Structure 1
């Protein structure tokens, strides 16, 4: 797993960015809604795959959504899959949305 991941919410580009050693390692794109955040795409750059960065991004963005008291709409299959594997985040997804994404 990557050791020193730094996260930044790049609001201008609507994405959370993960950097390692000052270089972009991955990101999660989102759209803000009134009381929810819709995650649309998560990507880890090829040279950083297999280092746990995708999971670290998912954990960070979901924790941040919780801190902001926002519901999550996991359009991104990676985020949806992460929530399925980590049931402590299921409460962030409304019941009607859970059905749509099989959570």
Structure 2
């Protein structure tokens, strides 16, 4: 991944701006569980792998911090199914 994704802890979301357009992955952190609630990539920058990069970054952040993950967002749930190396994080 070549994107420098930012973790905006105040808003509880991971952010990436491409071509001036903001994409986000929203989460809630509750007792060591990262609940991924939404992944949003505007159509204008869709198809560039941004959602995958945001999700990977979120999951890597969870692993680094010893958190488990509850993927309420359908994209995040599907990503974890496609990438079994993250299955141990899901609750």
Give TM-score, length-normalised by structure 2: 0.91
Q: Deviations over 1:4-34 (max 9, x none)?
A: 522111112111101235x344110010111
CA distance in 2, matches of 1:50, 1:59: 16
User: Contact 1:31/1:37 (CA < 8 Å) preserved in 2?
Assistant: yes
Could you tell me how far 1:47 is from its partner in structure 2? 1.1
Q: CA RMSD in A?
A: 1.5
- 1:64 matched residue in structure 2: 61
1:20 is aligned to 2:18: yes
Q: Unpaired segments of 5 or more residues in structure 1?
A: 95-103
Contact kept? 1:30, 1:38, Cα under 8 Å = yes
Per the alignment, residue 82 of structure 2 pairs with 85
Partner of 2:6: 8
Aligned to 1:46: 43
Structure 2 counterpart SS, 1:30: strand
Structure of greater Rg: 1
Length-normalised TM-score, structure 1: 0.81
Unaligned runs of 5+ in 2: none
Other-structure match for 1:100? none
Shift of 1:74: 0.2
